[in-house]
Amino acid sequence: MAKKINFDKVVNRIGSDSMKFANLQERYGNEDVIPMWVADMDFKSCKKIIKALENRAKEGVFGYPYNDESIYNSIYEWQKRRYGWSIKKGSISLASGVVNSIAFIVQAFTKEKDSIIIQTPVYHPFARLIKENDRKVSANSLVLKDGKYKIDFKDFEKRAKEAKAFILCNPHNPTGRVFSKEELLKLAQICIDNDVLIISDEIHSDFLYDGLKHIPIASLSKHISKQTITVNAPSKSFNIAGLMTSYVIIENKKLEDKYKKYIKKFELMDNNIFGTLALKTAYNGCEEWMDEMVAYLQKNRDFALEFIKDEIPLVDVIKPEATYLLWIDFRKLGLTPSKLEKFLITKAKIGLNNGIIYGKEGAGFARLNFGTQNDVLKTALKNLKKAINEFIV
Ligand SMILES: Cc1ncc(COP(=O)(O)O)c(C=O)c1O
């Protein structure tokens, strides 16, 4: 594939209403800190998306939207082409965000005090939304062995006997794990045996490295699909998270009716015209852009892994099979989570996510977002090396 897009070009995001780049002084006490936390990327989106949005903006009329079949078709085609999943027609509902969709699903399908399984350390809004909805977090800790996170199936099975739902994060944030077909089949079978609803968050499904292929859990069998609600979005893949457009796939008519009835209560039936236009344009015309971007990210990942191994031996790093998130193990520094965060901000001048927010297993870890220009990543890692060298003398 010929290289066409210049992902090396630094984009100034300060002053662009970006969560990641806003209020650096207030957040870090220093404007020099490189923000590498919240999961969006520092690249401009695909040109075709930008053009389509420009053209729509020029129309100047932004009335209520109408979603014809073309938006659903673009999602069917994407799922089929990218992951080999032929979704039953009529089983897609548009939504604004993946996280708020999961919150609605939790409300619609579980009751107060019900247990919901998550695999910690995991994307922190899962535990938050479970608790905010007065449900109970059932934490099936992933086990770190020889640099790779594995599932404790015995513990999962025990928890499934009590739980009503399981929020699967695949690919897994923050560990970067891509669960294998065998692992997914095993998880699904336990959920089926115990009638646990699988809520599968597959938002990172386009960022797989080393030739790995994403497997939607619901695509594994009709039986599994009947037990599953899948949530996905083009927001990470095309860097359009601010357009608040995602989708929910439910191939089980009974579950679908229940979900739709619940959503209707809140009159949540419309979508943003810019978001749906971006989704369609992305899935229909930006695949090459995305493949090039993922190849760039793989180079960033490999660079970071090598740099840390060669230059910062006091720090361990988990090799992500997917996502643009690097889960770094700083435990050898012996710092508490708050001291580690302070050290990274004040000494290394990098703003990472504190590992502890993902669960107790994340104590001593931090998550670095490498969805950025290679030069920015290099500077961040050089800063880290210097800070650690000074720490140990
Ligand atoms: C696993 C996972 N799910 C969901 C989201 C956010 O999705 P949304 O912005 O659509 O709510 C993120 C963002 O980082 C994520 O990592």
Instruction: Work out the angle between the directed axes of helices 153-160 and 181-193 (0-180°, nearest 10).
Output: 30
Q: What is the 3-state secondary structure (H, E, C) of 259-303?
A: HHHHHHHCCCCCCCHHHHHHHHHHHHHCHHHHHHHHHHHHHHHHH
pLDDT of res. 1: 52
pLDDT of res. 271: 86
pLDDT of res. 89: 86
- Choose one of 123, 172, 178 to mutate for the ligand 1 pocket test, by most ligand atoms within 8 angstroms of C-beta: 123
Tell how far the Cα of 48 is from the centroid of ligand 1, in angstroms.
Answer: 23
CA distance 151 to 148: 10
Q: Give me the residue spans of the domains in the chain.
A: 24-46+288-392, 62-285
- Choose one of 18, 96, 98, 326 to mutate for the ligand 1 pocket test, by most ligand atoms within 8 angstroms of C-beta: 98
- Does the reported pTM lie above 0.85? yes
Determine which residue's CA is closest to atom 14 belonging to ligand 1: 39
Tell how far the Cα of 202 is from the centroid of ligand 1, in angstroms.
Answer: 9
Three-state DSSP at 34 gives strand
Same fold, 24-46+288-392 and 62-285: no
Tell how far the Cα of 127 is from the centroid of ligand 1, in angstroms.
Answer: 13
From the list 52, 19, 59, the residue with the least C-alpha distance to 35 is 19
Asked whether the CA dihedral 105, 96, 47, 173 is positive or negative, the reply is negative
Strand partners, 35: 351
CA distances from 344 to 32, 88, 173, 368, 377 (A): 12, 48, 21, 11, 14
Tell how far the Cα of 98 is from the centroid of ligand 1, in angstroms.
Answer: 6
pLDDT of res. 2: 55
From the list 147, 143, 142, 194, the residue with the least C-alpha distance to 168 is 142
- Choose one of 18, 19, 99 to mutate for the ligand 1 pocket test, by most ligand atoms within 8 angstroms of C-beta: 99
Name the stretches of the chain with pLDDT < 50: none
**Does domain 62-285 sit in CATH 3.40.640.10?**
yes
Q: pLDDT (tens digit, 9 = 90+) per residue, 85-99? A: 999 889 999 999 999
CATH number belonging to the domain at 24-46+288-392, selected among 3.40.50.10320, 3.30.1330.10, 3.30.1540.10, 3.90.1150.10: 3.90.1150.10
